Amino acid sequence: MTQTEPETVPAPAPPQRVTHWIGGQRVAGVAERTAPVYDPALGTIRTEVPLASVDEVDRAVASASAAFVSWRTSSLTKRSQVLFAFRELVNQHKHELAELITAEHGKVLSDALGEVSRGLEVVEFACGIPHLLKGGHSEGVSTNVDVYSIRQPLGVCAIISPFNFPVMVPMWFMPIAIAAGNAVVLKPSEKDPSASLLIARLWEQAGLPAGVFNVVHGDKVAVDRLLEHPEVKAVSFVGSTPIARYVYETGARNGKRVQALGGAKNHMVVLPDADLDLAADAAVNAGFGSAGERCMAISVLVVVEPVADELVKRIRERIATLKVGDGRRSCDMGPLVTREHRDRVASYLAAGVDAGAELVVDGRGVQADGDEAGFWLGPSLLDRVSPEMSVYTDEIFGPVLSVVRVGGYAEALELVNANPYGNGTAIFTNDGGAARRYQNEVEVGMVGINVPIPVPMAYYSFGGWKDSLFGDSHAHGTEGVHFFTRGKVITSRWLDPSHGGINLGFPEND
């Protein structure tokens, strides 16, 4: 046997216990309440995370509030220098960040690295903050009167993030918030909290003054305190729809600016003229990548007959080649985030069959390349799903792809538009006119044409419609800059120096 390079990356050493990060320091939680953080590929508890009390949240907000006073007056040059330095540091530490993501979330390392790269794009966008904050100027709107607009920071901004992108989702918001002159309190998901502490250290090394970026771990207690704290001016939330709605309503009632991105049920429409190999590849990547735990995952294939039999066959062939296992090994798909979540996702397979769907591929009992105790569920495919089945109505958030067969474009469009979610959608076709019509008629915030996961670049804004977003600002891009700043318009009159006052040597007007 020849000696080969080991294919696996060892799990990063577990931290003793996760701490908060307040005022530029690690702060051990004093709260008696803690939550376990799992390594989902091993099925073991990796570490514990403190669940902050109201006092601990208050301490983080006070630290941010104090730091805001001088950060908001720091020059744009200084702020963009910090952003550039942060960009370099995240890039240098991207493997470390990816290993932490894989250890606590379970997604495969290449996917975790991709997550860091997408987050970095927003940091790069925010490096251009001097340009992004430029206002307008109208000279001479009246005699000696000029009008101009500026954008100013808000103060303390809270970010509350979900488990499925522990690096990318906070980075949708924090680089822009900070670059615009705000101070931030991040409340990451308690399921995979460790990456947020490495991010905090990188901000510190980048030269960000202590207190401008804080991390406080916790659950509903911490979120509720952030939603009612008078010093918190804006809340950026990403998570499931019921909590997004609650955060939006509670934050707004307390006078805060809120953007709350919710859950999803993304449909991919396949017209009969589509390239079926392209569509099958896309369905498999978008349905099972990150074990389906993506808000932009495709969960419903809406196939316009007569191509459903052929498409299902090609997807089944591709699923058979997927390797499920520990994300630190060379696998295509990792475990689900917790045992409880895996069991909930798996329960939909039985529910689908009971309701009359056809289980084409059953991921239960998958042979994973990893520890037996890991939270495994293989890719699963349900055909002949209909809109009243729970497998269709509910956001499953796992590796379960449903096929709904329809008779034509109009039926496909009606189905997508009737769905309460409106995060992402895709259409696969070779007919440009059909694609153009779909982009115009579909009631969804992000649309892909022969692209299954149409996540916008950082200089556009990310966000869904309907129950996938509460509030009126999407994340990053121009909308992100607007969310983290308030506009001010100045109307100024300066009398011509020839009209009296100190004689500066200007010729007198007639």
Rounded to 10°, the helix 409-418/432-441 angle is: 30
For the bound state, the minimum distance from the C-beta of residue 452 to ligand NAD, rounded and expressed in Å, comes to 16
Nearest 5°: phi and psi at 246?
-65, -45
CB nearer ligand NAD, residue 71 or residue 397: 397
Q: Which stretch binds ligand NAD (CB under 6 A): 80-88, 236-244, 316-324, 356-364?
A: 236-244
Check if the beta carbon of residue 402 is closer than 8 Å to that of residue 352: yes
For the bound state, the minimum distance from the C-beta of residue 504 to ligand NAD, rounded and expressed in Å, comes to 57
Q: Is 157 a catalytic residue?
A: no
Say how far apart CA 471 and CA 9 lie, in whole Å: 41
Q: Is residue 164 within the footprint of ligand NAD (CB under 6 A)?
A: yes
Q: Across the strands, what pairs with 404?
A: 302
For the bound state, the minimum distance from the C-beta of residue 261 to ligand NAD, rounded and expressed in Å, comes to 4
For the bound state, the minimum distance from the C-beta of residue 132 to ligand NAD, rounded and expressed in Å, comes to 22
Residue from the set 53, 161, 182, 338 that interacts with ligand NAD by CB under 6 A:
161
Say how far apart CA 55 and CA 225 lie, in whole Å: 9
For the bound state, the minimum distance from the C-beta of residue 103 to ligand NAD, rounded and expressed in Å, comes to 17
Residue from the set 263, 287, 289, 370 that interacts with ligand NAD by CB under 6 A:
263
Residue from the set 348, 376, 392, 397 that interacts with ligand NAD by CB under 6 A:
397
CB nearer ligand NAD, residue 104 or residue 383: 104
Q: Is residue 262 within the footprint of ligand NAD (CB under 6 A)?
A: yes
Q: Which stretch binds ligand NAD (CB under 6 A): 8-16, 161-169, 204-212, 266-274?
A: 161-169
Say how far apart CA 281 and CA 488 lie, in whole Å: 49
Say how far apart CA 273 and CA 306 lie, in whole Å: 10
Report the run of H or E that residue 79 belongs to, with start and end. Answer: helix 76-92
Q: Is residue 189 within the footprint of ligand NAD (CB under 6 A)?
A: yes
Which of helix, strand or coil describes residue 333?
Answer: strand
- Give the helix ranges, DSSP H, for 327-444: 339-354, 390-393, 409-418, 432-441
Q: How do the residues of the chain divide into helix, strand and coil, expressed in percent and rounded to 5?
A: 35, 25, 40
| Catalytic hit among 127, 157, 295, 331 | 295
Count residues contacting ligand NAD (CB under 6 A)? 27
For the bound state, the minimum distance from the C-beta of residue 334 to ligand NAD, rounded and expressed in Å, comes to 16
CB nearer ligand NAD, residue 39 or residue 192: 192
For the bound state, the minimum distance from the C-beta of residue 445 to ligand NAD, rounded and expressed in Å, comes to 9
The dihedral through the CA atoms of 485, 159, 104, 291 has a sign that is: negative
Per DSSP, which regions of 107-224 are E strands? 137-142, 145-153, 156-160, 183-187, 213-215
CB nearer ligand NAD, residue 338 or residue 429: 338
Residue from the set 31, 103, 174, 223 that interacts with ligand NAD by CB under 6 A:
223
237 burial via Cβ count (<10 Å: 0-12, 13-18, 19+): buried
Residue from the set 56, 111, 121, 190 that interacts with ligand NAD by CB under 6 A:
190
Phi-psi region of 80 (alpha: psi -120 to 50; beta: other; left: phi over 0): alpha
* Residue numbers 454-493 binding ligand NAD by CB under 6 A: 464, 468
* Residue numbers 288-347 binding ligand NAD by CB under 6 A: 295
User: Which of these, 334, 409, 178, lies nearest to 417 by C-alpha position?
Assistant: 409
User: Which of these, 218, 223, 66, lies nearest to 156 by C-alpha position?
Assistant: 66
Q: Which stretch binds ligand NAD (CB under 6 A): 56-64, 83-91, 237-245, 493-501?
A: 237-245
- Give catalytic residues, as residue numbers: 295
Which residues contact ligand NAD by CB under 6 A?
160-165, 169, 187, 189-190, 219-220, 223, 238-240, 243, 261-264, 295, 395, 397, 423, 464, 468
